[in-house]
Amino acid sequence: MTMLISDLYGKQIITNSGKKIGYVEDIVLDFESKSVANLLLTKMDNLVRSQNTAALLAKNSVKYSRVKSVAESIIVSSETKG
């Protein structure tokens, strides 16, 4: 099934264990692989204006590879440590 990137904006992101992470505010695309790389919990403009862009990007993004389903909300796998 094909989905428009614009359909992801504003959707709530929830882990498969029920933890609410936030809402999709922006999206990072990987043009080489022609895919979505990350879902951002804040606007990219807010991140690039700060002095700790890399740290804030890591803290305020969810790797799209974690996405399990997209419907009314986006369900992602729980983040694994290690």
Q: Which residues, at least 6 apart from 50, have a Cβ–Cβ distance to it below 8 Å?
A: 56
**Per-residue tokens: 51:** 């002095």
Q: Under CATH, domain 5-76 is a member of which superfamily?
A: PRC-barrel domain (2.30.30.240)
pTM of the model: 0.87
* 3-class secondary-structure state, position 42: coil
> Cα(65)–Cα(37) distance, rounded to whole angstroms?
8
pLDDT digits (tens, 9 = 90+) for 35-51: 999 999 999 988 888 78
8 touches 17 (CB < 8 A) = no
Look at residue 42 in the predicted model and tell me its pLDDT: 93
